[in-house]
Structure 1
Amino acid sequence: MTLDQPNVAAFDPVLADEVRRGLTSQPKRLSSRFFYDDEGSRLFSEIMHLPEYYLTRSEYEILDTNKEQLLSLFAADNRPFNLIELGAGDGLKTKLLLSHFVEQGARFTYVPVDISAAALDGLTADLRQKLPALAVQPQLGDYTEALAQLTHQATEGADAPRQVVLFLGSNIGNFAPADAVAFYAQISQQLQPGDLVLTGFDLQKHPAVIHAAYNDREGLTKAFNLNLLRRLNRDLDADFNLAAFDHYELYDPESGEARSYLISQTKQTVNIRALDMTVPFAYGDFIHTEISRKFTRDGIEQLASQTGFALTQWLTDCRHYFADVVYRKS
């Protein structure tokens, strides 16, 4: 493997660094944060509508059933609030809340944050057409940077907006345990006492239900994972042959982790010209692309206590597959 350091100024330096480190590590790995280019965001929107993918329907049920309760919590003491959604995507579930909040005359601004410009533009245009009374301030970029910028701009005083952070869809499951603690500690540092975080957590359940959610019969999850290689071909001038890789998923009920891999189906060598490196693959070699952790209530409460939050609301769907949990900054 060639490890010379070329000039990659024309390429995304974060992506370049992650790919260099990930594909020279053992085992090979690529971060799931890079799934969501425009095509990845489009594919994930389709995945959310699959019959096997229970997560979206479960969380939609929770938000629909509890939208009045959530508004009462967010707008407590008649304070205005900023609704900051990390990883907004197409806003499918959030639109349900937004419509209700606007109908009730709530004083709030919706701040969708996403790394996909296409997803953000589409969401903003749709909201401005369907909810013209809604104040929308889209933010393109990384979660933590956008949140730091927004909270830095926040005003103080009795009528200052409460910061309400949304992190839906069990995106927190993509973090390793230590990374989840670090991420919520970062969020906590940006918030004031009384600010809120609403997080979606996929709960532990029968392994067959979880396994099916990541192995859909239509092959959309496979296409979603393989699109990561297509992105490297485009953005880093690589030559991955997508037909030479397969998608493999497993769920371990002992650890509560669903893991995604791309498996090399032949002996091959991939060139990543922007990084001046070659990556050899033997038959059966794999790239670990994603972890999706499933949670227990004890684990969710522990995450709050470790990061400066108190668990305020615990909301589940009728099957107890999923939980939306409100943390309050202590």
Structure 2
Amino acid sequence: MSPIATSNVEIVDIRGTNLQSSLSQDIYHGLQAAEKSLPTLLLYDTKGLRLFEDITYLDEYYLTNAEIKVLEANAAKIAALVPENCQLVELGSGNLRKIEILLNELERAKKSVEYYALDLSLEELHRTFAELPSKSYRYVKCRGFWGTYDDGLNWLNNPMNRKKATWVMSLGSSMGNFSPVEAAGFLRGFARSLGPADSMVIAFDPCKDPERVFRAYNDKKGVTRQFYLNGLSNANAILGFEAFKSGEWDAIGEFDQTLGCHKAYYVPLADTVINNIHIKKGEKIFFEQAFKYAADDCEKLWRDAGLHPTRKFGDDYTCLCPAADIHILSSATPNMNPYQLPTKRTEYVKDVIPTLQDFEAAWALWDTVTTSMVPPTDLLSRPIHLRNSLIFYLGHIPAFMDRHLARATGGAPTEPAEFHSMFERGIDPDVDNPDHCHDHSAIPDEWPSVETLVEYQGQVRTRARSIYFNGQAGDRKVAEALWISFEHETMHLETFLYMLLQHNSTMPPPLVAKPDFKQLAFDSAKTAVPNEWFEIPEQTVEIGLDDPGSDEIPSTSFGWDNEIPRRTAHVPSFMAKARPITNGEYAKYLEECGTEQLPASWVEKSTQNGSQNVMANGERVEVSFLPPTIMLWKPINMAIRTSANGSEKQNHDTNYQPVQNPFNLDKSVYVDLDDCNVGFAHWHPTSVTQNGNKLSGQGNFGGLWEWTSSTLEAHDGFKPMDLYPAYTGRLNLSDSKQRRS
């Protein structure tokens, strides 16, 4: 790796392989294949790069101008996201027209950054940097990298080069030259190189208008054709002889509407032979493709590549046929995302007993939520005034586990033993009558310190780990104690989160990029369909689990006492909307009803003249610690209230969605949840407005608990569980206010 002197900037040779030799082999391999092809890189010699620059100024070639407009409109916003002392590495820098817009904005903002332009052509690096006003920059430092994409990735993977936050950039929609599978594989390598402070910036062309795309690659002046045929001249130079004779070849383009892709081919005008390889007249030799990536294509690509979208800038707000999207992404690869849990049933339930790895993942999440998302001084606060302070749960979770492990193993409580009684049960009173409350632990005059509780928690976790190490987990009592402790902790993880939702000082989880709520709201409005009615037919369903007995571990799953035993239930026919109602829909309903009672997670906006109602314009909703207005698409989360006059008769069209006989369905207790907002795939509810034409199923509620209106009451065969009789024993099962979830 050696620097090359230039009058303007330093250019570093990072090439790791002989590109000419590699391309020579690729040419012959491609011509010998059943479906002949030539490397796309042949297009980008020095002359080819200049011809391509000419293409970017053509009227038909909409991509560059569209991208420039997006950059000009959003450069200040993008620059604000770039960390101080960041290094920007651009893959395939070209003539620097687009990146110059951002560099100028960074300079104007006095943000110190280092910009590295990676390109195949040393000559072009010299030329383009000579035209860039880098000498006038005080805060932006420029350097060039001479090499390929692979060379750039190798440079990024060297820890010596990663002492600063890094943004890897690909402008110019060049990622479209890869098929979706190829693009995912290519981007996955860069995603794995990203650290918590790093990002990728990728530009894509979302336009799939066949005529517009075809004209962009088949211009009237024939500049693109010259660019393509120059690739054959470059191939001749690499091979050392005139394999592709001038005047005997042509280049043609086709738009594949099914794939959303423009493809280009070389075709010989007569039968020809190259190094004993026979090519027939008119036989197409593929050499370039340009895939167009709409929103759904990008979503799949991000998942496949291990990337997490954080922001998007585009012209789709004003343009009927968007032609440029600039995406900012962070890594979502397993080693960089410590939160997201598996969604396949074969992965998230490997055994009846939670594995130690399951516990470690749950503990990492619990620690993040309880120690990183709320200031330590706020743990004494009570976001929900009828419940305990937040700090109670720091003691409740380990005390619950320790109580059950001690009972199952016949061991002594972990010290301090009094934590068992202090943190045994929380407060969960009747909302309408807070004096009506089950037995609960007495609230101490002073809670133990956070440090004491964290130390106690560590001791209990060590106790749990030792059970796995010494083989005790195979005992029925111990296995059930581990199971109930795991379920209890994960359920209270959600308890803690919805308490934080109503807390004023909640902080975002570390390493999670702030979502672009405006874009999410825009996308939701764009894809929304009417929320239709569906009739669910009368049927008999099988629910619950059977427990084999006190000494045997069940083959499927342990269960809470309200889940045992297995039984059937007759469900009469009923009507249901396809999806949950949203904040926006509920706000409109409240306005029409003239009520001032708001859901607890909504806040009123104070003004100089007093309080401004959140429904002032019929649609405005402000949700605590989330941006205003733009959460209208979010499914509403509120407590169930019974009402004598709550029914509403409407005239509506009814859909009939086929319902399988439940006795013919897979009897597994667990299901795959790959496309659902579960397992911390997102830290916010996701839109449901696009699902109004299909009935929601398991996990399709945008990330909310799927509460039902089913009353929690004793059923045939019910008895309180021996392991934890207080679970339903603390409830009044004749109280119709208790609901299942």
Instruction: Confirm or deny a common fold (TM above 0.5).
Output: yes
Distance 1:231 1:254 in 2: 32
Distance 1:30 1:176 in 2: 15
Deviation string, structure 1 residues 247-270 (Cα, Å, up to 9, x no partner): 110101111111001111112233
Cα pair 2:90 2:169 within 8 Å, conserved = yes
Going by fraction, where is helix more abundant, 1 or 2? 1
Distance 1:10 1:141 in 2: 10
Cα pair 2:170 2:203 within 8 Å, conserved = yes
- Aligned residue pairs, count: 310
Going by fraction, where is strand more abundant, 1 or 2? 1
Deviation string, structure 1 residues 76-131 (Cα, Å, up to 9, x no partner): xxx32111100001111111111111121111000000111111111222235564
Aligned to 1:285, the other structure's residue is in SS state coil
Moved over 4 A (4+): 153-156
Distance 2:153 2:128 in 1: 19
Cα deviation for residue 298 of structure 1 reads 1.3
Equivalent residues in 2 for 1:36-185, closer than 5 Å: 36-75=44-83, 79-127=84-132, 131-133=136-138, 134-154=140-160, 160-185=163-188
Distance 1:50 1:258 in 2: 18
Aligned-partner residue type, residue 20 of structure 2: D
Cα pair 1:56 1:169 within 8 Å, conserved = yes
Aligned to 2:221, the other structure's residue is in SS state coil
Distance 1:82 1:263 in 2: 43
Larger relative contact order (CA 8 Å, sep ≥ 6): 1
Deviation string, structure 1 residues 39-60 (Cα, Å, up to 9, x no partner): 1101000000000000000000
- Note closer, same or farther for the CA distance 1:49–1:130 as it changes in structure 2 (3 Å cut): farther
Cα deviation for residue 154 of structure 1 reads 4.8
Aligned to 1:235, the other structure's residue is in SS state helix
Match of 2:265 in 1: 261
Match of 2:296 in 1: 298
Distance 2:26 2:179 in 1: 16
Deviation string, structure 1 residues 283-330 (Cα, Å, up to 9, x no partner): 111211101101121111221122222111111124212211111123
Unpaired runs of 5+ in structure 2? Answer: 1-16, 333-741
- Note closer, same or farther for the CA distance 1:283–1:141 as it changes in structure 2 (3 Å cut): same
Deviation string, structure 1 residues 51-80 (Cα, Å, up to 9, x no partner): 0000000000111100011011112xxx32
- Note closer, same or farther for the CA distance 1:131–1:121 as it changes in structure 2 (3 Å cut): same
Which sits farther off after the overlay, 314-323 or 18-27?
A: 314-323
Distance 2:280 2:208 in 1: 35
Distance 1:19 1:92 in 2: 32
Aligned-partner residue type, residue 311 of structure 1: P
Cα pair 2:122 2:146 within 8 Å, conserved = yes
Aligned to 1:290, the other structure's residue is in SS state strand
Distance 1:161 1:131 in 2: 24
Deviation string, structure 1 residues 122-167 (Cα, Å, up to 9, x no partner): 12222355644331121100113223314525567xxx52111110
Cα pair 1:55 1:202 within 8 Å, conserved = yes
Cα pair 1:144 1:186 within 8 Å, conserved = no
Distance 2:53 2:159 in 1: 32
Aligned to 2:327, the other structure's residue is in SS state strand
Aligned-partner residue type, residue 89 of structure 2: I
Return the match for 1:278 from 264, 276, 296.
276
Match of 1:12 in 2: 20
Aligned-partner residue type, residue 61 of structure 2: Y
Aligned-CA RMSD value: 1.9
Aligned to 2:273, the other structure's residue is in SS state strand
Match of 2:205 in 1: 202
Aligned to 1:28, the other structure's residue is in SS state coil
Aligned-partner residue type, residue 177 of structure 1: P
TM-score (normalised: structure 2): 0.41
Match of 2:328 in 1: 326
Unpaired runs of 5+ in structure 1? Answer: 1-8, 271-276
Match of 1:221 in 2: 224
